[in-house]
Structure formats: C-alpha cells, structure tokens
Chains A and B, each alone.
Chain A
Amino acid sequence: MNRQQTLMPLPLAADMIAAGQVLCIAGDEAALRQLPRGQWIGGTIPYFMTREGGQVSREQVFVTPITGFAEPPRLRFRDRAALPGVCRDAPESGYSIVIIPAFSDCHVEFAQHAPDYEEMYLKPLVGWIAGVHLDDLAQAKPRVVLGPTGEFADDCAVVMDVPLPPDRFAQIDIVNLFHPGHGPAIVFPASGFTVGACTLDGEPGNLAEYLTHAGIDTRLPLVADYCGALINVSIKAVDPASGRVELYAPVFPGLEYRIAAPVEDYVASFHQALPGQAPDIAFSCNCILNYLHSGLDGKRTGDLVGPFTFGEIGYQLLNQTLVYLTVS
C-alpha cells in the first residue's frame, strides 16, 4: 500500500511540490489554487476516503505521490480532439493517470468512445472524473490542473504518463460490491447516457417504466458482466413521464445488463471484498455515490484511500466502483 497517499494540509502539500516530488492531487478548487507550480496534476473534488474514514474538506488536499518511475513522468492537457490518443502515446512500459472534468465534452467523449481508443486495454490507464461539492453544483464547474503551468481547465483532461523500469509492471483492479440481481436481462439498442427503449428478457420495453412499476431502488446500478468483470452504470434520474432514464455512464448495445442486487451492509461487504494481502498500491479512488448511498462519512473502508469522485477510470469509465493500481 502507498502509505504516503493521504489527506494533508496545504503547506505540507506545497512543501512536497517545492521538493520536486511528482504528485497527483485532489482537492477543492480554492485549495488547489493555493498550491505552487510544480510536477503535479490535479482535479477538483472535496470528498475523500481516508484511513480515518470518509471525509469532506475544502481546506485539505489528497496527495498521491508518484514514485518508482524510470524517467520523469510527462504531464499535459489533452483536449477532446487529442483524448483518443491517450493510450497510443502512453509509455510502452508504465501507466497513465487521467483526470477529466465532469460534464465536459471530454467526459462525454471518453465515456462513449474510450473502449475504441487505439491501444486501449493494452496500456494501463487509471484515473477519475473531477467534480465539485454537491452544494456548489449549480454554480461551480469541475476543473483539472496542470501543475507545471498552474493552469486550470474545465474543458480538457489532464494526463500524467508514468514510465516504469522494464522489470516492473502496473496492473489495474477494481472492487465492485454490486452483483447482478435476479431481475430481467436488459439490452439497449444503442449507446448513450440517456436511455428509454430496451428489451427486458427479450421483450420490448422501456427502462423508465420498468424501474417505476417495479419500484426499483435507483441507488442500485445496472450491472453488466464483461467476461467476469462486473461493470456498473449508475442511474442519475428517472422521468416516467418522458420514459427517459439518465445515467452517469453510457450503456453499450449488445451487452446484457441487470439491476444490481441490494447490498445489505456496504462497509462489511467492502472489507470482505478487499484484496487479501495488502498490495503495493500506487493509486486508488472510489465513487461519490458509494460515499453518499452507503453512508461512508466517518466510516473506515480499510487501507484503500483516495478521492471520492464523479466517476472512476479503470481503462474505461466506471461507476460505483473502487479502482486501484498496483505496481509489481
């Protein structure tokens, strides 16, 4: 586990930057704006899972030191047009961390097209979607920061490419507490963040109608089985009148989704699902919906710490999932 990965006061983070450390930093925008320029990338979010439990802080920042690289990591912005090259341009041996502002064109682009990016799945790509304090949703914009220039952006992703020595390799894993429930198999005719028409166990139907009539708890995500990897798509809003359901990530045609089975005790389930041996974790993040729906404020979630985000990236966009990267 990366013991240095922690929530800390701004002066301490500033000292680490000044010392030339390479860092990935999460924090409220006002806090990030007080940090000096240096070898770091960042994204806005004030929710964190710490060793003491879930916390909200606008004053402190969560710092993940990046170590063990073969060459100095490359830090840069990527706009929507450049984002599809993120894996192609990643180091041959190593990994990349990407942070994308929520609700931006980059967010939509990545969510819908990342699986088709050149070299996708061949090179480890991990990261998260930047957000804002939920009280500020109406007036604040999620942003990312390029530390070397101190620039903030709400329309670009920020990427850190970390080359590793040839004898080391990075691996991405996820902890997903949700499993497909016993409801109907749901298949969508097209990809999208907003859906309606679908088939339910092969019969034509409408997801909004189904969720409403069946009294489904919409805090439970749709779950698809990707050759054994359970991938969630979280439900944002249901409008029975228009028959539309808004999602936090797109669904894809051809995949079979089911509403997740309820999780009785998130914290207990989480502890059971954690990897047995504490691996050498270089980076981790969890979903803000897990923080909200599972009442994690002040509750410990083991040694896996990091920001609670508006979406997690483990190659592609994930929802309600803990993502972590190990380096062996």
Chain B
Amino acid sequence: MAGRQAQRRGPRGRGELELEVLSCLAAADRSMTPAEVQQTIGDLAYTTVMTTLSRLHAKGALERQTAGRAYAYSLVGGERMARSNMAAHQMLKVLDEESDRAGVLARFVAELDPADEKLLAKLIGQATPSTASPRRTTRRPRTGS
C-alpha cells in the first residue's frame, strides 16, 4: 500500500484529528516532534499538527520536553493507563460474548476461519500469511521500534 495516492475528502473534524494524532503517538510508543507526526500521518498541514498537539497538551493528554528547537510530545502515562484499562476491557469482552453479539460492542473485525483467511488474502492481493510465527506487518516508514 506504500505510495498509494488517496484523494482525500474534506477537512477532518477536531475530534478526528485528535484521535489520529493520539493513535499515531501510541503506535510509535515514543515522543515525537510535530514534524515527525506530520511526516507519519502524511496529509496534514504542519500548523494543523502543531495546533492539535498543543491542544492535547493543554487538555493534559500529552506531555512535552524540548527536543532541540521544537517540543517532543508523548502520551501522559500511556502504558500505565493501558494496563489500568485492561480490567474493564476484559469485563466488556465477557459481557459481549454473553450477550450473544447483541450490540454491546461494535467490534472492528473478528477472527477468520482458514478458508476466509485465504480468500481475504487473495482479495487484497496479498500472499497468504504464514500461520506459523507472528509476522511483522508493520509498514510504517522509519519507526525503529
């Protein structure tokens, strides 16, 4: 999917921008400067990224240190928070299973059976994933983990 030129539609809402920036930082799992965030997301103006980051900082969602001439932003207590959410997440999962998929959770995707797995891989023109070891599917540019 590298090099895909997507024709974007319309400006994003404030809520969506914040989610995008936050998920970008969570995926990177390190502090990032506005320039790095902009480069990763790709199709946002630098000022938009700057504004979003400082707004999130003002809300207390991000912390920042000076990195050279710019600020580097990172999630506040990201990992600790992620761990503290696990209990509620587990309970929600159980609740969802019990309630016979009656719409407590709207899951993004579920697991595939082997036939669907092959079909899907073919549909998007990808080689069938090896079922052996977990394969790194990350395709983000330059985020040495």
Say whether A associates with B.
no
B interface residues with partner A (beta carbon < 8 Å): none
Q: Measuring CB to CB, which residues of chain A are less than 8 angstroms from any residue of chain B?
A: none
